[in-house]
A and B are shown apart, each in its own frame.
Chain A
Amino acid sequence: MLSIAILIATTLVCISLVLNLWRLFKGPSRPDRILALDTMYINSIALIILFGISSATALYFEAALLIAMLGFVSTAAMCKYILRGDLIE
């Protein structure tokens, strides 16, 4: 039962990654593209956590935490760059 649930969850997360990629290519404005990238890194954390559950190790936790931190920093940096035209003034 757990393996079927993991399969369903992985399929849903992969479909949502494809939807984010579509918005990343189509997005009419630049904040749209940043939002799509932000959602993509959150969904990739979900994929890593699901893979960690299916292989029953706690090894992938550090990778998920690193992706979360770097993703937030990169989103903040991109917003700041678009807003002010410069990162460190």
Chain B
Amino acid sequence: MGFWIELLVSISLVIGAVFVFIGSLGLAKLPDFYTRLHAPTKATTLGMSCLLITSAVLATYQQGYLSLHELLITLFLLITAPVTAHMLAKTAMHHDVEIMNGTSYKELSVRAKERTTP
């Protein structure tokens, strides 16, 4: 394997894993549910995209022809992450999960809870 492609693949693997780790660290350490929702939705999705595209590049290099399998998983994760976050936020609002002090416009959550349309 060439030196430069190995360097590129190694660096982007480590960067993707660091983003996944930051997402889980945010899930463990942030103070309330609505802030915790941000970390896995954004950072973990970005890190997973990085890992999967790296895997596609490596498979293309090793097999000699274009391999786009992993892009399918990337696309699927990018589509489903906002949907999941929206459903979880709506569930938490309907269950009156505690909102941290210092949140601005806290009274809007009551109006959002009363609304019946999805």
Contacts and interface: CB of A to CB of B under 8 A. Distances in A.
Interface residues of A, number: 49
* Interface residue SS majority, chain A: helix
Contacts of A23: 27-28, 36
Interface in A36-89: 36, 38-39, 42-43, 45-46, 49-50, 52-53, 56, 58, 61, 64-65, 68-69, 72, 75-76, 79-80, 82-83
A15 B9 CA distance: 21
A49 B16 CA distance: 12
A34 B83 CA distance: 14
A8 B51 CA distance: 13
B73 A35 contact: no
Majority DSSP secondary structure for residues of B touching A: helix
Nearest to A75: B84
B110 interface: no
B69 A39 contact: no
B83 to A, nearest CB: 7
Given A56-B62, A72-B84, A65 B73 contact: yes
Given A16-B25, A42-B48, 14 more contacts: A1-B10, A23-B28, A30-B91, A30-B95, A31-B95, A42-B40, A43-B20, A58-B67, A61-B69, A68-B77, A72-B76, A75-B88, A76-B84, A82-B95
Interface of B: 1, 6-7, 9-11, 13-14, 16-18, 20-21, 23-25, 27-28, 33, 36-37, 40, 44-45, 47-48, 51-52, 54-55, 58-59, 62-63, 67, 69-70, 72-73, 76-77, 80, 83-84, 87-88, 90-92, 94-95, 97-98
